[in-house]
């Protein structure tokens, strides 16, 4: 995506001018604009922004058509500092002549991965805040959701090639996994592949990030239960759809978004809920949400022992469940994630093991991979298989096929999280 973490900056309020793409880090109800991030086009907008009492603004130079005014107190903008608790280790690219070309490339690749992780952690924080506010302040939750979605839609649909990355579990921590963020990211990837309009992408994104908001009113005893739910518990669980719709109706969420949320557990064969709709009765955007929701639920169930690998999840959906989905959209989804979906554990032709980090949209058989080391605290070498033609993937492994020590390492990462970014290059 064009707004790399290292390209997002703070400026003083007096540096604001027409042409800057800014982010208002305020609540939905705390400013008069329809969205929280936009390009400034009029002097009246500048006057309104200055009246909000902010001393600094976050802006994105890559989406701006001008540069900030120089101020007396700061001659340069300051890089946007993510909270320390959300920062993974940042690799510094060293151009020292002592480093070989291969070493410089490796550092550049690790730097690109780290930038993606930084953006993921910021988005994860926003989604957590949306969930936290949803019960007592649904209007603010909707506002923050709109900002997050608009930003992702704008950057994803306007970028040429985008790729999906599997986040590094032991660096970002399992606590940052957000089901809603995964669904948003996966839905945007599929939306881009299906070439849907920007307006529909925003509608889909809003439905994705809010689709499970009704679960905030369901007991954790049911939501976190590892054993199968009883008939009564299943009935209670399924009420989260209507509970969510009722919450969102109170803040006048557009009907189209409500319709998609209401259908995210429907299936093409009529076996879904709450209405048992069949394929032709389901909104086309809902089909996208249904597929991405099922995929993430297979990869990240409440009981981690039942988790499928990304490769297994796609296999199950196509071989055993495809009657539940729109066939065209399911095939597009499988194509988007590639033959070896990010997060998969693979065996290479030299018999070494690696995890798939990121897709290469134009060459799905040759993704970015990271070698698995015996020390889970140390990142293995990152390899772009497009450039190592004598190395091939020969097998996608299930957890039980891994050596015991690696099974233990993989269990420490209980969740598979995703984020979209530009295709990695060094």
- Per-residue DSSP letter, 91: P
Tell me the three state secondary structure of residue 305. helix
Asked whether residue 314 is domain-assigned, the answer is yes
Give 394 or 89, the one with higher predicted confidence. 394
Q: How far is CA 132 from CA 119, 126, 140, 172, 224, in A?
A: 20, 10, 10, 20, 17
Buried b (16+ CB within 10 A) or exposed e, 97-124: eeeeeeeebbbbbbbbbbbbbbbbbbbb
pLDDT of residue 46 exceeding 50: yes
Burial of 61 (0-12, 13-18, 19+ CB in 10 A): middle
Give the pLDDT of residue 378.
56
- The highest-confidence range among 78-92, 129-143, 158-172, 376-390, by mean pLDDT, is 129-143
Give the pLDDT of residue 73.
42
For 346-395, what is each residue's pLDDT tens digit? 999 999 999 899 888 778 888 989 898 766 545 688 898 988 889 999 99
Tell me the three state secondary structure of residue 72. coil
Domain CATH number, residue 147? 1.10.3210.10
Instruction: Return the H-helix or E-strand segment holding 286.
Output: helix 284-299
Asked whether residue 258 is domain-assigned, the answer is yes
List, in order, residues 6 or more apart from 118 with CB less than 8 Å away. 5, 82, 86, 87, 88, 90
Asked whether residue 383 is domain-assigned, the answer is no
Give the pLDDT of residue 416.
84
List, in order, residues 6 or more apart from 146 with CB less than 8 Å away. 28, 35, 36, 206
Rounded to 10 degrees, the C-alpha dihedral 106/114/120/299 comes to 50
Structure confidence at residue 262 as a pLDDT band (50, 70, 90) = very high
Structure confidence at residue 203 as a pLDDT band (50, 70, 90) = very high
Q: Do residues 346 and 393 lie in contact, with contact meaning Cβ atoms separated by under 8 Å?
A: yes
Structure confidence at residue 338 as a pLDDT band (50, 70, 90) = confident
The answer to whether the Cα torsion of 416, 421, 424, 426 is positive or negative is: negative
Give the pLDDT of residue 424.
59
Asked whether residue 74 is domain-assigned, the answer is no
Give the pLDDT of residue 29.
57
CA distance 289 to 163: 19
Give the pLDDT of residue 8.
54
Pairing of strands 368-371, 382-384: antiparallel
Asked whether residue 377 is domain-assigned, the answer is no
Residues shown for the chain: 426
pLDDT of residue 303 exceeding 90: no
Structure tokens at 70: 């120089």
Give the pLDDT of residue 290.
98
Structure tokens at 134: 């949803």
Asked whether residue 101 is domain-assigned, the answer is yes
Instruction: Return the H-helix or E-strand segment holding 311.
Output: helix 310-319
Asked whether residue 27 is domain-assigned, the answer is no
Structure confidence at residue 411 as a pLDDT band (50, 70, 90) = low
- The highest-confidence range among 191-200, 281-290, 345-354, by mean pLDDT, is 281-290
Could you list the residue range(s) of the whole structural domain that residue 147 is in? Answer: 87-340
Give the pLDDT of residue 74.
39
Asked whether residue 103 is domain-assigned, the answer is yes
Give 206 or 95, the one with higher predicted confidence. 206
* Mean pLDDT, the chain, whole residue set: 82
Structural domain count of the chain: 1
């Amino acid at each position: 995506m064009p707004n790399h973490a290292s390209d997002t900056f703070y400026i003083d309020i007096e540096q604001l001018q027409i042409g800057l793409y800014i982010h208002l880090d305020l609540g939905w109800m705390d400013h008069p604009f329809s969205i929280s991030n936009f390009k400034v086009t009029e002097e009246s907008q500048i006057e309104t922004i200055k009246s909000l009492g902010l001393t600094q603004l976050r802006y994105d130079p890559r989406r701006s058509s001008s540069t900030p005014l120089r101020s007396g107190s700061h001659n340069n903008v300051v890089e946007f500092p993510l909270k320390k608790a959300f920062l993974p280790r940042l690799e510094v690219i060293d151009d020292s002549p002592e480093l070989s070309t291969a070493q410089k490339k490796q550092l550049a690749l690790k730097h690109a991965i780290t930038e993606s992780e930084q953006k993921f952690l910021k988005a994860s924080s926003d989604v957590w805040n949306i969930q936290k506010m949803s019960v007592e302040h649904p209007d603010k939750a909707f506002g923050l959701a709109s900002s997050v979605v608009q930003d992702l839609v704008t950057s994803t649909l306007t970028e040429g090639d985008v790729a999906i990355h599997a986040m590094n579990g032991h660096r970002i921590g399992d606590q940052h996994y957000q089901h809603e963020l995964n669904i948003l990211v996966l839905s945007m990837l599929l939306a881009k592949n299906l070439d849907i309009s920007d307006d529909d992408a925003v509608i889909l994104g809003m439905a994705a990030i809010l689709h499970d908001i009704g679960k905030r009113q369901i007991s954790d005893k049911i939501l976190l239960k590892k054993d199968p739910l009883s008939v009564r518990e299943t009935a209670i669980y399924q009420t989260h759809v209507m509970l969510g719709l009722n919450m969102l109706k109170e803040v006048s969420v557009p009907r189209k978004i409500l319709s998609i949320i209401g259908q995210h557990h429907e299936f093409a064969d009529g076996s879904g809920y709450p209405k048992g709709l069949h394929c032709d009765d389901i909104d086309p955007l809902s089909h996208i949400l249904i597929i991405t929701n099922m995929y993430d639920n297979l990869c990240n169930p409440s009981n981690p022992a039942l988790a499928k690998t990304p490769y297994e999840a796609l296999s199950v959906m196509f071989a055993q469940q495809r009657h539940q989905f729109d066939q065209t959209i399911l095939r597009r989804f499988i194509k988007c994630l590639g033959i070896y979906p990010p997060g998969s554990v693979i065996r290479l032709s030299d018999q070494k093991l690696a995890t798939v980090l990121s897709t290469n949209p134009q060459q799905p058989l040759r993704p970015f991979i990271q070698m698995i080391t015996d020390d889970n605290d140390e990142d293995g070498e990152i390899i772009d298989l497009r450039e190592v033609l004598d190395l091939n993937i020969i097998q996608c492994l299930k957890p039980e096929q891994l050596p015991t020590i690696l099974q233990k390492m993989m269990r420490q990462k209980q969740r598979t999280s995703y984020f979209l970014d530009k295709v990695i290059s060094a």
